[in-house]
Amino acid sequence: MAVEADLPKSVSKVGEELAEPIIEARGLKKHFPVKRGPMARTEWLRAVDGLDFSLGRDTVFALVGESGCGKSTVARLLLKLLEPTSGEMLFRGRDIAPLRGDALKAYRRAVQIIFQDPFASLNPRRNVLDTLSEPMKIHGLAEPSQYEIRVLELLSKVGMGDVLGRYPHEFSGGQRQRICIARALAVSPEVIVADEPLSALDVSIQAQILNLLQDLRSESGISFIFISHDLRVVEYFSDEVAVMYLGKIIEQAPSVELFKEPRHPYTEVLLASSPGLEPGAKKRAVLGGEVPSPIHIPSGCPFHPRCPKKFSPCDKVVPRLQATSGRPVACHLWNPY
Amino acid sequence: MLLEARGLNIFLETRSGPLNIVNSIDLDIPPGGVFGLAGESGCGKSLTALAIMGILPQNLYATGEIRFKDRDLLVLPPEEFRALRGKEMAMVFQEPMTSLNPVLRVDYQIREVITTHMDVSRKEADGMVLELLRAVRSPSPEMRMREYPHQMSGGMRQRVMTAMAIACGPSLLIADEPTTALDVTIEAQILELLDTLRRERDMSVILITHDLGIIAENAETVGIMYAGRIVELAGVKELFEAPKHPYTMGLLRSLPHGRGEGLKPIRGTVPRPGDLPPGCKFSNRCDYVVGDCRKEEPGLRIIGDNHRARCIRAEDLKWP
């Protein structure tokens, strides 16, 4: 566009920076040892089994999948609460594994988390002022005399008033989740990992929190890794969606395309399994079987025992996440093996 | 009617006297249908179910009338109620993890229901357990019946719960959030199972859930509860196509439809039972509130065919 040509150089440099991912996972794996009984041989639970993805600036990247697919392990790897078995997690192009001391502290400031259960993730013995000034104290972001003012600012950002002296038990679930969000915002992070932030809340409160996250996103340009099992919410909030099954991404696409045209048979079933709101509409598709244990991942395509469209190569050849047909899908139907 | 409730009230005993938690519920459950009861946490939907089953916690009590097969459950002697409960009416709970006994094998737990209500030998009972596990589509039931709950997945546990509930062929099954703890694909399996069993065994189902999607898909008649009251009662089609109560509208508008379209959450939070506003209990959060709303609590008025709402402005409100 003509406008772009007229922009000064520094602006186009910002544009370049925009394209560079903030967070990138390369061949990320996390296997946990499992030993059943003293004489048993150690088995490996492959929670995350080779992930590649990248998170751009100002985007919401959603990880969806059923319980046990490894999405929360990814969140913990991202926060460096767990060390990967192999592969790496990059923050602005640098591996986070060797980070220690000040560098780690800076990373922790840049990447914050909101947990699922706002009842368990606030200290019941600390009032709101203590809870929200703690991050500023740790990272030296404000003078102690400024704490009150800063905390009040944070609270107003999340739609709450002067509740400085109150304790978690005095709040409802939705209000607690607002406090958790304020706590994440206290250090002006670049990335927020939101691990099922709505699932403990009632529908009407979910909508309030979702609106709040949407506002934060457009005002502050924070990127989100949004982990959820609720596809309606994911469709509403995210730009890019990765569907996980047994530790692997099996399909990844911009949200609009994924919901319009799911390609992997699992994604199709997942979308068809969430109930619509039209009474008398077609009954949802029912997928038989259950997710196998991540200790004994089926051979070939991990989804093949449940897949309604499996054919000869599926139980032997592991499909790779390839974009042969324009979008990354790990399925032999889309990528001739 | 299989089950009729009239003016059902539930009170919590507190130091400062009884606190009304569930207020004048009227229900009509015909034989062989699915009645959906929906609302957010604390609205009283589960307590209503517990009152019907006669298993309210000690500090709660119910008044009014609940007629089940022409017996008034609230005045039924405990022995008679015990003979009824588990046999003619049964319940599936939300948490299959906590509602199964962790130290007993599942065959024991299912058999216990059978031997309590039926005069059968151990061998016959074992056969029935196997039959029930087959009926709930359990894979390899002979093996499964010897397992403990912790060896099972959430979906499998919910199948066992369901097997226990249908063991004596009840005519009423209350399912309280039967799929809330489960993944979507498993949720779809369990709901399909409940629907099949209902048809095969000619049961009525009261389906309690917070998920309006599940209601739309499964229920024939729906009651929406708020602050211990039924605020809207309608056929499922009427309710979703033309909701008449502002709370129902608010719930539907709170759900995301597609990408980026603005959500309109209901403002504020649910008031505590002792702290309800005067007049209409939703008036402090309602977008359509007028002066009269705060004066007197509206009744559940007939608005149209198969449609009632507890709102004085129900006829004026436009949807969407």
Give me Rg for the CA atoms of chain A.
Answer: 22
Q: Do B240 and A278 touch (CB under 8 A)?
A: yes
- From B127's Cα to the closest Cα of chain A, the distance in A is 25
Q: What is the DSSP letter of A186?
A: T
Name the residue among B56, B52, B50 with its Cα closest to residue B13: B56
Q: Tell me how far apart the alpha carbons of residues A247 and A71 are, in angstroms, rounded to a whole number.
A: 8
Locate the DSSP E strands across chain A: 23-34, 43-55, 60-64, 86-91, 94-95, 111-114, 191-195, 223-228, 240-245, 248-254
Please check the confidence at residue A1 and state whether its pLDDT lies above 60.
no
Give the residue with greater pLDDT, A19 vs A188: A188
Each residue's pLDDT tens digit, A32-45: 999 888 888 899 99
**What does B140-193 look like in DSSP terms, one character per residue?**
SHHHHTTS-GGGS-HHHHHHHHHHHHHTT--SEEEEESTTTTS-HHHHHHHHHH
The answer to whether B244 and B303 have CB atoms below 8 angstroms apart is yes
**What does B27-73 look like in DSSP terms, one character per residue?**
EEE-TT-EEEEE--TTSSHHHHHHHHHT---TTEEEEEEEEETTEEG
- From B66's Cα to the closest Cα of chain A, the distance in A is 29
**Edge-to-edge strand order for the sheet containing A191-195?**
A111-114, A191-195, A223-228, A60-64, A240-245, A248-254
Overall size of chain A counted in residues: 337
Where along chain B do its domains lie?
3-219, 225-256+277-316
pLDDT band at B272 (very low <50, low <70, confident <90, very high): confident
Alpha carbon dihedral B39, B42, B46, B48, in 10-degree steps, equals -90
Of A66, A281, A285, the CB nearest to B183: A66
Q: Is A336 exposed, middle or buried (0-12, 13-18, 19+ CB in 10 A)?
A: exposed
In chain A, what percentage of residues exceed pLDDT 70?
92
Please check the confidence at residue A18 and state whether its pLDDT lies above 60.
no
Sign of CA dihedral A319, A323, A326, A330: positive
Q: Tell me how far apart the alpha carbons of residues A20 and B237 are, in angstroms, rounded to a whole number.
A: 50
**For range A131-135, the mean pLDDT:** 95
- From B297's Cα to the closest Cα of chain A, the distance in A is 23
CB burial readout A161-181, b (16+ within 10 A) else e: eebbeebbeebbbbbbbbbbb
- The DSSP bridge pattern shows strands A223-228 and A191-195 to be parallel
Please check the confidence at residue A124 and state whether its pLDDT lies above 80.
yes
Instruction: Quote the mean pLDDT of chain A.
Output: 88
pLDDT attached to residue A2: 41
- From A183's Cα to the closest Cα of chain B, the distance in A is 21
Q: Is B291 on the interface with A (CB under 8 A)?
A: no
Helix (H, G, I), strand (E, B) or coil at A96: coil
Please check the confidence at residue A9 and state whether its pLDDT lies above 60.
no
Overall size of chain B counted in residues: 320
pLDDT band at B139 (very low <50, low <70, confident <90, very high): confident
Q: Do B270 and A202 touch (CB under 8 A)?
A: yes
Q: Do B185 and A273 touch (CB under 8 A)?
A: yes
- From A291's Cα to the closest Cα of chain B, the distance in A is 9
- From B116's Cα to the closest Cα of chain A, the distance in A is 33
In chain A, what percentage of residues exceed pLDDT 90?
67
Each residue's pLDDT tens digit, A222-271: 999 999 988 889 999 999 999 999 999 999 999 999 999 999 999 998 88
Q: Tell me how far apart the alpha carbons of residues A46 and B208 are, in angstroms, rounded to a whole number.
A: 37
Of B219, B240, B255, the CB nearest to A232: B255
Of B155, B186, B213, the CB nearest to A277: B213
Look up the CATH architecture of domain B3-219.
Answer: 3-Layer(aba) Sandwich (3.40)
**For range A113-137, the mean pLDDT:** 93
State the DSSP H helix or E strand holding residue A105, giving kind and residue range, or none if neither: helix A101-110
Query: What residues in B contact A278, CB-CB < 8 Å?
Result: 216, 240
Q: How many CB pairs under 8 A join A and B?
A: 121
Name the residue among B124, B168, B163 with its Cα closest to residue B147: B163
Q: Tell me how far apart the alpha carbons of residues A319 and B3 are, in angstroms, rounded to a whole number.
A: 54
Q: Tell me how far apart the alpha carbons of residues A4 and B44 are, in angstroms, rounded to a whole number.
A: 59
Helix (H, G, I), strand (E, B) or coil at A142: coil
Q: Do B216 and A236 touch (CB under 8 A)?
A: no
Q: Is B268 on the interface with A (CB under 8 A)?
A: no
Binding-site residues on chain A for chain B (CB distance < 8 A): 66-67, 172, 174-175, 202-208, 210-211, 229, 231-233, 235-237, 255-256, 259, 269-270, 273-281, 283-288, 290-291
Helix (H, G, I), strand (E, B) or coil at A94: strand
Query: What residues in B contact A290, CB-CB < 8 Å?
Result: 153, 155-156, 186
- Give the other-Cβ count within 10 Å of A73's Cβ: 23
**What does B253-296 look like in DSSP terms, one character per residue?**
HHS--SSSPPP-PPPS-PPPGGGPPSSSTTTTT-TT--GGGGTS
User: With a cut of 0.85, is the ipTM above it?
Assistant: no
Q: Do A281 and B217 touch (CB under 8 A)?
A: yes
pLDDT attached to residue B260: 64
**For range A62-86, the mean pLDDT:** 92
**Best of A117, A203, A206 to mutate (most B CBs within 10 Å, chain B):** A203
